[in-house]
Each structure stands twice: as C-alpha cells, then as structure tokens.
Structure 1
Amino acid sequence: MSDPVKIQIWSDYVCPFCMLAEGPLEQATEDLDVEIEWKPFELRAHPQPTLRPEDPYLPDIWKRAVYPMARRMGVDITLPTVSPQPYTRLAFEGFQYAQERGKGDAYTRRMFRAFFQEDLDLGQIDVLTTLAGELDLDREEFRTALEKGTYTERHQDALREAAAHRVQVAPTFLVGDIRMEGVPSAPQLRKAILDAQARQQDAADEPTGAACGVDGVC
C-alpha cells in the first residue's frame, strides 16, 4: 500500500479565499488517505503596505468574488474592519509554535475565524496570545516566544520554501506533485488526490530491478 497523499496548502491568514478553501478540502478528503499540511505565505510582507478596507479595492473584490463564493458555500465571512490589515509575520511565528506542539492545523483554522468572523487584529500579540490559550497552548510561553523571536528563523525558512516552490498565489495547493492555485471545487480537488494516489501506487508497484557490480559479482 502506498503512503498517504500529501496535500500542502500555502495560505495567508488575511486571505479570505484561503478560509473558503477549507470547505472543498474537507469534502474532497472525506474517506481518503491524506496528510494535510498548511504552510505560511505572506501576501504582503513588511515593509510592503497592507490593504485598507476603506479603500475601493477590498470592498470591490469582496463584492465581486468573496461574498458570492461564500454564499454558494454557506460560509459566514465578513470583510474585516481592521485598518490597515495586519502583517501576519507574528501570527505565523505563533503557527510555528503551535505546529511544534501538534496544533498547527487547529491554529490555522482559528486564525481564519478570528479575522474573518470576529474582526480581530492578528497583528497584536495580546490577541494572538488569547487565541493560543483557547487552543490549550501555554499563553505565557507562547507570548514569550513571540516577544523573543524564538520562531523568526523557522518562519523565514518556511517563506524560503514557499519561494522555492514559486508560490505567488494564496491559496496554492500541492497535491502530491499536482499543483492547483486558487480555490478548487471539491470534485477537482478529489480528482487530483486520486490521480496522485494512483501515481504513488504505480511507483510503489514498479520493480526496482537487480544490479551487479562492474566486475559481474552480485
């Protein structure tokens, strides 16, 4: 039997489409053997300015794309009023802390809901510490890790990995070796998983072949 299909998802906590991708992901992976790994990708890293909800761009894209998709999926999501939108470096350093303790996926999902359903500022250590506590992570240890930059280099390594994969869009899925950008439908994602599963099985079934030394001795 082949290994579980690995699904890597590069996302940013201020990307509404990343939160909306949760639904198709859950539907597509039901009853399939997969390993899901959320990965950091900063859409706008410091010092690049982040977006402001009072400017025309965000209300327009939400009206044209985010809200219609959310209605189709039955997802409660609202354009946050936090202005300017927070940088997510600290939140992602918190992710590294949570992931080290086996709670990376839960942390990611909590960040999405905190920003898009509760209008919380994910750039504030106090907010992040409270959310970490809700996940039964040690609040004081978590806060200290963020204040001291304990996970700064690990987060930078994660960003370098995203760059190595040429990630430029959030979300970006890598299903085995099948790349998908944006929010896929559940059938599209499920097909990619099954195709990747078939490739892995074919590779596992392939005979390795025998080999001998140059002197003919096996």
Structure 2
Amino acid sequence: MRIEIWADVVCGWAYIGKRRVERALEGLDVEVVWRPFRIDPMAPAQAVPHEEAMADPTVDAALRRCAPDLTPGENRVRVALVAAEEGFGWTWGPAWRADSRDAHRLIALALEHGGPALQDAVAERVMKAHFLDRLDISDRGTLHRLAADAGFAGGGALLDAGAGDELVRELLLKGKAMGVRTSPTIVAGSEALAGAQSAEVIREFVLAARPARRLPEEVERYRHAESLLDQRDPLGALALLRPLLDEHGDDRNVLMLAGRCYYLSAQLGRARAVLERLVAATPDDAYARHLLGRTLQRQGHAEEAGPHLRMAAVMAPEYA
C-alpha cells in the first residue's frame, strides 16, 4: 500500500508528522511518498533571518496554513514544545525564512530517480537542515550538499538544469484540486487525514484505508482541472488541461472545459475560437451558445452576440 504525505518542508508540523508516521508504520508494508505543499508561497527568493521575518504579516498567514486552529503565536510555542517531546531537543527552530520551491523540486526528483527510500532520505535531510541545523534550504549550494549526503549525487546538477519545476507545479495544482489545505495531510486510498496526528491515530487511519479505484490518467487529470475551475482557478485548470488539449483536442468535454477556463480567465479570443467550434459541431448545445454570446458581448460585439443569446434562451429558459 502507498500513502502520500502532502507537506511543506518549512512547516514544523510536517517534520513532527514525519516522526509520528515512522512510528505509526512500524511493522506495516506501506510505501510513503512525499508530495509538495506550500504554506509560504510569498517567501522571498533570497532568505531573510527568521526573527526579521516574524515582523512580516504574511508569515502569520503562512503559519495558519500549517496550523489552522492556532494563532501564529500559539503555533510557534506549541510546535516547539511538541518538537521537544518528539525528541528533537530544545535547539529546534529555523534561522531563516526560506523559499521551499527548490527543496520541493529536489524531493520530487529524488522519487523519480531513486524511489521512495531515496526521497525519504532527501526529505529528512532537508527538514533537519532547516529546523535543527538552522541552514538556508533555499540556497542552491546547501541543497547540493544535502542531496549528496542523502546519496542523490546527481540531484544538484538536476536542480541547476531546471529539472522538476513543471513536475512540482503540477503536483501543487493536483493537491489543490484534491482539497489539500494544510501541512501535513496524509492521503491513503481515497481518504485524507489532516495535521500531524498522533502515531496511534495515523496507524488506525492507514489500517482502515482501502485502495482508491485507479482511474485512467486522462480522466484523473480532467477531474482535477474541473475541481480547480470550481475553485475559481481557471489558469491552474488550464495548466492541468493542456496535455489533454494536445492529445485529445477534438474531445467535446475537453474543449468545453477549456472554453470555460478561457472565458473565466478573460482570454476571450481563445474562448471565442473554442466556443465557435463547439457551436458549429453541435448547434443545439444551449450552454455553448450562451457562453459564446457572453464572450462576444465582453468583446464588444453585441450584434454578433444577440442571435446566440436568443437561441440559447429559447432552448433553455434559464439562459433567458
């Protein structure tokens, strides 16, 4: 059985959760895969001292994504106490507000090139470096050394070549589509467990999990794109939809979803082209006609929009 841990390496609860997961899975045949989550996507590209960063109100927002039920101040105290209880000691605490993007790339690449064991070794060293060794994990040189220490000798070169950037971007969108809202979130089968729960709770959760029904990759990608659009993220939806447009560009459902995304992201020229194609293929599709009419209206083509809007209203009164 495989479980996924969606977490940010700069979230203290993620490192605490890692220790609890390790205890929870003792004696079980379970494969663990780490997936990216960003609690602090606004972190500066150049790391700043942690104490200085605490004055930035965006840091409070980040901490709430790590512990939604605690105030930022309560979270800082609570995580330090729990870290000590978990055996991390009283030297716990980051020295830097660091951008975790490259660290996530390195961890994702470790899975691709060495499997879950190598990925776990890299994730462990990255979090230890941040919370215990007080290193700047946004620094490329630091990540090179951590990769080598973990046995991922080629990791640094892959980072420098830009590898893993698109992979992490897609995984972050997938997590959002799946409803991942906090770090860490453990996904087993079709169920999710949010937060760094106790080892006992995690073990019960994993033992009770049933494998999710595997969907074709194209279907899963389409559903995730739909979910992002429902969350008012049309650009994210388009990013996931792009491979489907390349490979299944004649599929009506794919085209309709793309048309909706283009319309909601104000890419009106592209929306018009897709919707005109759909209306030409299926003239009795009331929704396609209505959306085409709205698109033409927004482009300032009221006369062209009128027939489509009137026809849509005749076919479906809700569009009147």
Q: Give me the TM-score of the superposition, normalised by structure 1.
A: 0.78
Give the conservation status (yes or no) of the 8 Å contact 2:95–2:130.
no
State how far apart, in whole Å, the 2-side matches of 1:63 and 1:97 are: 31
State how far apart, in whole Å, the 2-side matches of 1:21 and 1:45 are: 21
> Among residues 35, 39, 59, which one is paired with 2:31 in the alignment?
35
Give the conservation status (yes or no) of the 8 Å contact 1:11–1:39.
yes
2:137 is matched with which residue? Answer: 122
State how far apart, in whole Å, the 2-side matches of 1:176 and 1:53 are: 40
Within 5 Å, give how 1:3-42 maps onto structure 2.
4=1, 6-42=2-38
Q: CA 1:143/1:31 → structure 2, altered by over 3 Å: closer, same or farther?
A: closer
State how far apart, in whole Å, the 1-side matches of 2:31 and 2:151 are: 23
State how far apart, in whole Å, the 2-side matches of 1:78 and 1:134 are: 21
> Among residues 83, 89, 93, which one is paired with 1:79 in the alignment?
93
Q: Decide which structure has greater helix share.
A: 2
Within 5 Å, give how 1:55-204 maps onto structure 2.
55=54, 60-61=73-74, 63-76=76-89, 78-82=92-96, 85-102=97-114, 103-138=118-153, 141-196=154-209, 199=210
User: Which protein has the larger Cα radius of gyration, Structure 1 or Structure 2?
Assistant: 2
**Which deviations, in whole Å up to 9, do the C-alpha atoms of 1:119-177 show, x marking residues without a partner?**
01011101100111112222xx4333222312211111111111111212000111222
Give the conservation status (yes or no) of the 8 Å contact 2:43–2:99.
no
SS at match of 2:51: coil
Give the conservation status (yes or no) of the 8 Å contact 1:53–1:79.
no
Give the conservation status (yes or no) of the 8 Å contact 2:110–2:122.
yes
The Cα of 1:63 is off from its aligned counterpart by: 4.7
**Which deviations, in whole Å up to 9, do the C-alpha atoms of 1:97-136 show, x marking residues without a partner?**
2112221111111111010010010111011001111122
Q: Give me the TM-score of the superposition, normalised by structure 2.
A: 0.55
Say which is worse superposed, 126-135 or 91-100, in terms of deviation: 91-100
What is the count of residue pairs matched by the alignment? Answer: 191
Higher relative contact order (CA 8 A, sep 6+): 1
SS at match of 2:33: strand
SS at match of 2:179: coil
CA RMSD of aligned residues (A): 2.5
